[in-house]
Amino acid sequence: MSERMGGKRWSPPLRLRGPGPDWAAQTPTWRQARPALIAETLKRATARPSGNWFVVGASREVRAGDRPYGRTVGGVEVVLWRTDGGELRAGPGVCPHLGAPLRDSRVACGTLVCHWHGLALDGSPFAGWQPFPVHDDGVLVWVRLDEVGGEKPTERPVVPVRPATDSAVDAVFTAAGRCEPQDVVANRLDPWHGSWFHPYSFIDLSVIREPQNDEDDGFVVDVSFRVAGRLVVPVRAEFTAPEPRTVVMRITDGEGAASVVETHATPMTRLDHERPRTAVIEATVATSDRPGFALARAAAPVLRPLMRRTAGRLWRDDLAYAERRWALRSTGRFPG
Ligand code: FES
Ligand SMILES: [Fe+2]
């Protein structure tokens, strides 16, 4: 694939692809995309420990300032804020006095002050309010909810290995769909749909390695990202599921090697909800050893919305897939 600088010949990241077969004439992938293989891979993924940690959003969204950040996870309202020193605090989003929604309260000098009657929370237990463990990994914020997860709690979440933040550009995209987390994960564990279902983004996709067992549980995929028309960027990517609600795509060869796209599926509703809703929180952490990438980092505020827009287009379709899977599963009509 592309050669690196440092004495070697420079090769542009973009390739001009010949006029390949039309969409309908590409090789069908349905024979390889065996429902049983996807189901087994999903089962192994969902059996891995999470330590009850849930991604709630981008680190940069939970800002210092006077506004807290609120999310509902597994039917539990959660409020987060930062102290004056920038440290994260998290806990139930229901005021212990008369139930005000703390996500609409104010932060004053690092203390959360309820906007109904002024009860102040500094993040330590108070009047029946108990904080939740919280973790900021630099890109995403995680909250530990032991009652929702029901697993053995762990000190830290399973954070995927990422390129160092000082040599990367990250962007976080969030969407929500009417399905369970496993439907989002199952979508990501079916790489074969790529160039059929997203022909505007992917072309020439082939799965060159399938999950084998618990130790060797990744997909390896060769694919070209379509940039514009016949201009493509060929890469090799590996898909793994390190914990039950996370799927990581890591570029292992080609332009941007070591970049990752992490998809996190966080339940919003109770797990037994009749009409479940799930948040998709997807972090793209892109890196490159090309000279120009320092410039790209400087341009990160401009690049982020573009990266989010790309993720947004894919997720419109992928959420339709996940919602369809849920609709069929919940009515006993899923063929897999
Ligand atoms: S409801 Fe929060 S202080 Fe009364
Ligand atoms: Fe997809």
Q: Which atom of ligand 1 is closest in space to residue 100's alpha carbon?
A: 1
Evaluate whether 1 touches 234 at the Cβ level (below 8 Å). yes
What lines the ligand 1 site, CB under 6 Å? Answer: 95, 97-100, 114, 116-119
**How much is the pLDDT for 336?**
67
Ligand 2 centre to CA of 190 (Å) is 8
86 burial (CB, 10 Å; 0-12 / 13-18 / 19+) is: exposed
- Give the residue among 254, 202, 185 at the shortest CA–CA distance from 41: 185
The predicted-structure confidence for 6-29, as pLDDT tens digits, reads as follows: 444 555 567 778 776 788 999 999
Who wins on pLDDT, 64 or 274? Answer: 274
DSSP character at residue 126: B
Mutate to test the pocket of ligand 1, among 79, 103, 115, 117 (most ligand atoms within 8 A of CB): 117
115 burial (CB, 10 Å; 0-12 / 13-18 / 19+) is: middle
- Give Cβ neighbours of residue 261 (< 8 Å, ≥ 6 apart): 248, 249, 282, 283, 284, 285, 311
Buried b (16+ CB within 10 A) or exposed e, 209-222: eebeeeeebbbbbb
Whether residue 4 is predicted with pLDDT greater than 50 in this model: the reply is no
State the CB neighbour count (10 A cutoff) for residue 194.
21
Q: Which atom of ligand 1 is closest in space to residue 117's alpha carbon?
A: 3
The predicted-structure confidence for 94-147, as pLDDT tens digits, reads as follows: 999 999 999 999 999 999 999 999 999 999 999 999 999 999 999 999 999 999
**How much is the pLDDT for 8?**
46
- Ligand nearest the Cα atom of residue 93: 1
Ligand 2 centre to CA of 189 (Å) is 9
Ligand 1 centre to CA of 97 (Å) is 5
Classify strands 219-228 and 231-243 as parallel, antiparallel or unpaired.
Answer: antiparallel
The predicted-structure confidence for 211-270, as pLDDT tens digits, reads as follows: 988 888 899 999 988 877 777 888 899 999 999 999 999 999 887 888 999 999 999 999
Strands (E) across 178-210 are located at 202-209
**How much is the pLDDT for 135?**
98
64 burial (CB, 10 Å; 0-12 / 13-18 / 19+) is: middle
Question: What is the chain's mean pLDDT, rounded?
Answer: 90
**How much is the pLDDT for 329?**
96
Q: In this structure, what are the phi and psi dihedrals at residue 91, rounded to the nearest 5 degrees?
A: -175, -175
> Measuring from atom 3 of ligand 1, which residue has the nearest CA?
117
> Measuring from atom 1 of ligand 1, which residue has the nearest CA?
98
DSSP character at residue 263: E
Q: Which atom of ligand 1 is closest in space to residue 115's alpha carbon?
A: 2
The predicted-structure confidence for 160-201, as pLDDT tens digits, reads as follows: 999 887 788 899 999 999 999 999 999 999 999 999 999 988
